[in-house]
C-alpha cells in the first residue's frame, strides 16, 4: 500500500511556527508545503530552509487544495477566525494555539467544524507543552471533573515569584521582566488576567463538558499586589499566585475566575515558580491530579501543536470519520454563579489610626456581616502613627465581605483597606 | 444508524474491578455482560447488582463470542497471560492493569496482539490514575523523551514519608503501614522495588520507543534506609525517596533503575508524599513536565481502565483498523548500560573509630579512586567512642565508588559503611 504524504500548511512562522517546522521536518509521511508569513524576505533561523514555500497571503494556505491540515499560529480573533473557517470549508482539519479565538468564538467554531466533519485541535492554546486537552478528552473521559485550579500565565507567575524572592515591588519586577523579554511592552493582556481568563474558559468548557462563556469569567489581575502582601502571606504560611480556577456543582452551576490567591505552602501550586504552568484537577473516579511544565516557549508549544498534527495524521486514511474523542461539541451552557454569591476565605490588609478600639471595630463589623475571623495580626505601629492589620477570614459570602470592606472604610479610625486577596480553600 | 452496544467482560471484581463496574454502568452504549470471579456467592458492594453475570470460569469470559473488550484485572503472569492471548485470538481488544505481565512478557504480548490487529491498553498498570501512557503515545508523540524520574510505588513512598515525618525506623513504620492496609503481609514486592521495576520497565519502553528488558533494570529496595539517614539527608537539604529512573542517550544506550535516592528539597519529587505517585519526564521539544496524582486505589485505577475502554469504544465501528497511536510495538531493544559503568553522586554514612586520621583516610581513598567530595560532615562522637561521618560525593563512577567502599571497610580505623545512597543529579 502506497503511503500517503500528509500535507501541512502553517499560518505564522514566529517562535512557535519555527519550532513546529523543525519538529515535523524529520517525519517522512508529513510535508510542510506552504507557510504564510508577514515578510517573506526575513531571514529564518532554520537550516536548509526552502524559502519558496513562503507566501505573504494567508489565504493561499487555506485555499490550497493539496493541504490536509492547517496550523494557525498567528493568534488574535481576525483574520484568524475567517482563515480557519475558510480552511474548514475547504476540507482541512485545524490545529491552533489561539486561546483568544477559542475563548471568544469556540462555540461557533466547533459547531462549524462539526458540520463539515473536521476537527479543531488546540492542545497548544492552554498551558503550552503540558498534556492537558487530549488527556481530558481520552484517558480521563470516564471522569466527572468538578474542579480546576491552575497557574496558566507564565508572565505573571514570573513576576510574582520574583517579587516573593526579592521582596521587590510589582513595578520594579515588571520593568525587569520587560527588559528580559518575559513581559510585553504593553503587559495588560497578561497582568490584568485576560490571557489566563481565555485559557480557563476553554479548559473549563472541555473539562466540565458544559460551555463556559468568557463574559461570565470573573477576572482580577496582579497589579495591586504589594511587596508587603507577599511578606505577610509568607509569614502566614502562604504564597501569592495568580490562580485560574473553575468549579461546577451537581446542578451544573459553574464558578470560573482568575484572580490572585493566597495558596498554602503545602499545596502543589505554591511550588510552581517562574514561567512554569500547572493545572490541578479533581474528578471522580480519578481523584486529584496535577500536571505541570513549561507554559510557553518555542519548543514546548511546538510539542503540543505537533502532538495534535500527529493525532490527526494517525486517523487520516484509516477512516472517513474523525475519532469521536477529538471532537469538542458542548451544546449546553453551564449556569453561571456570580462572584458576589460565592463563598471564599479572604486576606485583608487594613491600615488604621493607632487607636485601641480598631481591632474591636474590625471584629464588630465582621460579626455584623457574618464573617468569622481565622486570624488577625497587628505588628507594631508605622512612623506615621498608623497600624497595619492583617486579617484572614473563614469562609464568607463575597457580597457580605464587600459590604464589610465599605463599612471599614467609612469608620473614623480605619484609613483604608489596602489589599483584599482571596485565600485558597 | 443503530448504535451498537459494546460488550465488556471483566476478569476480576476486586477493588479495581468494582470501580470499573461502577464507572462504566451509566454508559448507554456499553454493557458489562460477564465477570469472572473466584467466588460467585461473595456479597458485592454494588447497588442493584445482577449476580447472574458472574462466573467462576475465566475462560467463559475470553471465549464469549459476544464480548468485544476484555479487562484483565487479576494480575500476575499466569493464568492472566494465557487468558489475554486466548481473548486476542478470539478477536477481543484488551485492557489490563497487569504491570508484572507487561514487564515480563510485554514484547511477546504486543507482537501477538499486532498479528491479530487488536490493541492491548494498560494505562492503569503504571501510576494508577495519572494520565501517562496515552499522553506519551498521542499528544507527546512528537517528542524524543530521554529521561524519566518517578515515584511509582505508593507503599514505599508512604513508609519513607512517615519515617521522615516521625523520625521512626523502617521496621516500626512498616508494621504501622501493614496494620493500616498500606503494606501487604509479605511486603517484598513493594519494599524491595519489584513493583516499581515492573512499572519503569514498561514506562521506559513506551517513552523511549526501545524495548527495555526487566532483567537489565537495576533494583534496590528501601529496607536498609535508617532513621539516621533520613535525618542526615534533611540536614543537607534532601529527602530520601524510592526513585524509578530511566535515561537513554543518543546511541540508544539505556540506564534504567529503581533505588533509594536523595532528592533535593527544591525538586518536585521531594514534595510527593504518602501514597501519591509522580512522573517527571524530559524530552525534546517539550522540555520538563511532571504529572502527579493517586498511584493506586479502587477509583483512580478504575479511571484509567475506563479511559482505555472508552478509547477503544470510540474507535470501534468507525474503522476496521485500530488507531495506530494505540499500538505498542518496539522491534528494537535498547542497549543496556550496566550500573557499574554509570556516573552518580553518592551519600555515604561511615562509622569509624574516633581517630584523628580518619577524615584524611577517607579523603585519600576517594582521591585514589578519582572521587571528588562535595561535603564531609562529622558531628561529635558516639557513646561507644565511634564517629559517624556523612559524605556527599561529586559525580563518580559506580565501580570506583564500590571499590572505595571496600577499601574503607578494609581500613583499620573505619568500622563500616552503614549506608550508600545515590543522590539526584
Q: In the structure, what pLDDT confidence band is assigned to residue A1 with cuts at 50, 70 and 90?
A: very low
Which residues from A are below 8 Å from B310, CB to CB?
Answer: 138, 141-142, 325
pLDDT value, residue B324: 58
Q: In the structure, what pLDDT confidence band is assigned to residue B409 with cuts at 50, 70 and 90?
A: very high
- The DSSP call for residue B124 is G
How far from the centroid of its chain's Cα atoms is residue B149's Cα?
10
Residue B387 has pLDDT above 70, yes or no: yes
pLDDT value, residue B135: 95
CATH architecture classification, A339-423: 2-Layer Sandwich (3.30)
Residue A318 forms contact with B (CB below 8 Å): yes
Cβ neighbours around B24 below 10 Å, total:
22
- Is A133-294 CATH 3.30.360.10? yes
CATH architecture classification, B342-423: 2-Layer Sandwich (3.30)
Which residues from A are below 8 Å from B130, CB to CB?
Answer: 289
Q: In the structure, what pLDDT confidence band is assigned to residue A325 with cuts at 50, 70 and 90?
A: low
Under 8 Å CB-to-CB from A58, ≥6 apart: which residues? A11, A36, A74, A79, A83
Give me the residue from B285, B297, B310 closest to A302, CB to CB: B285
Closest CA relative to residue A8, chosen from A128, A121, A127, A138: A121
Which residues from B are below 8 Å from A24, CB to CB?
Answer: 142
* Alpha-carbon span B287 to B65, nearest angstrom: 46
Q: In the structure, what pLDDT confidence band is assigned to residue B160 with cuts at 50, 70 and 90?
A: very high
Pinpoint the alpha helices (H) of A4-69.
Answer: 15-24, 58-62
pLDDT value, residue B326: 66
Residue A314 forms contact with B (CB below 8 Å): yes
Q: What is the CATH class of B6-128+298-326?
A: alpha beta
Residue A25 burial (C-beta neighbours within 10 Å; 0-12, 13-18, 19+): middle
- pLDDT, one tens digit per residue, over A41-98 is 999 999 999 999 999 999 999 999 999 999 999 999 999 999 999 999 999 999 999 9
Residue B54 has pLDDT above 80, yes or no: yes
Interface of B with A in 127-146 (CB under 8 A): 129-131, 133-135, 138-143
Grid coordinates representing B151 are 515515584
Residue B38 burial (C-beta neighbours within 10 Å; 0-12, 13-18, 19+): exposed
* Alpha-carbon span A235 to A237, nearest angstrom: 6
pLDDT value, residue A329: 66
pLDDT value, residue A326: 66
pLDDT value, residue B356: 84
Pinpoint the alpha helices (H) of B149-249.
Answer: 154-166, 170-180, 188-191, 194-208, 227-235
Angle between helices B227-235 and B154-166 (to 10 degrees): 70
Which residues from A are below 8 Å from B23, CB to CB?
Answer: 142, 285
Determine the distance in angstroms separating the CA of A112 from the nearest CA of chain B, rounded to an integer: 21
CATH architecture classification, B133-295: 2-Layer Sandwich (3.30)
Domain ranges of chain A: 6-127+298-326, 133-294, 339-423
Contact in structure between A70 and A169 (CB atoms under 8 Å): no
For every residue of A228-292, DSSP letters joined together read: HHHHHHHHTTEEEEEEEEEEE-TT-EEEEEEEEEEEETTSSGGG--TTEEEEEEEEETTEEEEEE
Residue A407 has pLDDT above 80, yes or no: yes
Contact in structure between A95 and A12 (CB atoms under 8 Å): no
* Alpha-carbon span A50 to B330, nearest angstrom: 34
Indicate yes or no: CB of B302 within 8 angstroms of CB of A285: yes
Question: With pLDDT > 70 as the criterion, what percentage of chain A qualifies?
Answer: 96
* Bridge partners for B423 per DSSP: B262, B345
Interface test with A, best of B15, B289, B294, B327 (most A CBs within 10 A): B289
Q: In the structure, what pLDDT confidence band is assigned to residue B1 with cuts at 50, 70 and 90?
A: very low
What is A6-127+298-326's CATH number, 3.40.50.720, 3.40.50.300, 1.10.600.10, 3.30.428.10? 3.40.50.720
Indicate yes or no: CB of A293 within 8 angstroms of CB of B287: yes
Return the residue matching grid coordinates 509479605: B186
Interface of B with A in 239-258 (CB under 8 A): none
pLDDT value, residue B179: 94
Mean pLDDT of chain A: 94
Indicate yes or no: CB of B299 within 8 angstroms of CB of A286: yes
Grid coordinates representing A13 are 512562522
B199 noted as active-site residue:
yes
Contact in structure between B148 and B281 (CB atoms under 8 Å): yes
- pLDDT, one tens digit per residue, over B100-139 is 999 999 999 999 999 998 999 999 999 999 999 999 999 9
Indicate yes or no: CB of B314 within 8 angstroms of CB of A299: no
Instruction: Classify the phi-psi angles of B298: left when phi > 0, otherwise alpha if psi is within -120 to 50, otherwise beta.
Output: alpha
Contact in structure between A370 and A397 (CB atoms under 8 Å): yes
Amino acid at each position: 500500500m502506497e503511503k500517503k504524504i500528509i500535507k501541512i500548511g502553517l499560518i505564522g512562522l514566529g517562535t512557535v511556527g519555527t519550532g513546529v517546522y523543525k519538529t515535523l521536518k524529520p517525519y517522512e509521511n508529513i510535508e510542510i508545503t506552504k507557510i504564510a508569513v508577514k515578510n517573506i524576505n526575513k531571514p529564518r533561523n532554520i537550516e536548509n530552509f526552502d524559502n519558496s514555500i513562503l507566501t505573504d497571503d494567508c489565504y493561499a494556505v487555506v485555499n490550497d487544495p493539496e493541504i490536509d491540515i492547517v496550523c494557525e499560529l498567528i493568534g488574535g480573533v481576525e483574520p484568524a477566525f475567517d482563515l480557519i473557517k475558510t480552511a474548514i470549508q475547504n476540507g482541512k482539519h485545524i490545529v491552533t494555539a489561539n486561546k483568544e479565538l477559542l475563548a471568544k468564538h469556540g462555540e461557533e467554531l466547533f459547531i462549524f467544524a462539526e458540520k463539515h466533519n473536521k476537527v479543531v485541535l488546540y492542545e497548544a492554546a492552554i498551558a503550552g507543552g503540558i498534556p492537558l486537552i487530549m488527556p481530558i478528552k481520552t484517558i480521563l473521559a470516564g471522569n466527572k471533573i468538578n474542579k480546576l485550579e491552575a497557574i496558566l500565565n507564565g508572565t505573571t507567575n514570573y513576576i510574582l515569584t520574583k517579587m516573593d524572592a526579592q521582596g521587590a515591588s510589582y513595578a520594579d519586577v515588571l520593568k525587569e521582566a520587560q527588559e528580559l523579554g518575559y513581559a510585553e511592552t504593553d503587559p495588560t493582556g497578561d497582568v490584568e488576567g485576560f490571557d489566563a481568563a481565555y485559557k480557563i474558559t476553554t479548559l473549563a468548557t472541555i473539562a466540565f463538558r458544559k460551555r463556559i462563556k468568557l463574559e461570565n469569567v470573573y477576572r482580577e489581575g496582579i497589579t495591586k499586589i504589594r511587596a508587603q502582601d507577599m511578606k505577610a502571606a509568607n509569614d502566614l504560611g502562604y504564597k501569592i499566585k495568580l490562580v485560574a480556577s473553575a468549579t461546577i456543582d451537581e446542578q451544573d452551576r459553574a464558578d470560573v475566575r482568575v484572580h490572585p490567591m493566597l495558596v498554602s505552602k503545602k499545596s502543589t501550586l505554591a511550588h510552581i515558580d517562574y514561567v512554569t504552568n500547572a493545572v490541578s484537577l479533581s474528578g471522580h473516579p480519578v481523584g486529584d491530579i496535577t500536571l505541570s511544565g513549561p507554559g510557553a516557549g518555542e519548543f514546548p508549544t511546538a510539542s503540543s501543536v505537533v502532538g495534535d498534527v500527529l493525532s490527526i495524521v494517525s486517523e487520516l486514511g484509516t477512516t472517513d470519520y474523525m475519532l469521536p474523542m477529538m471532537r469538542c461539541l458542548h451544546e449546553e451552557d453551564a449556569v453561571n454563579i456570580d462572584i458576589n454569591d460565592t463563598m471564599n476565605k479572604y486576606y485583608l490588609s487594613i491600615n488604621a489610626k493607632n487607636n485601641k478600639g480598631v481591632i474591636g471595630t474590625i471584629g464588630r463589623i465582621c460579626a455584623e456581616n457574618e464573617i468569622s475571623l481565622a486570624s488577625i495580626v497587628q505588628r507594631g505601629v508605622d512612623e506615621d502613627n498608623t497600624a497595619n492589620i492583617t486579617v484572614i477570614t473563614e469562609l464568607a459570602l463575597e457580597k457580605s465581605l464587600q459590604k464589610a470592606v465599605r463599612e471599614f472604610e467609612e469608620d473614623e479610625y480605619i484609613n483604608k483597606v489596602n489589599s483584599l486577596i482571596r485565600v485558597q480553600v
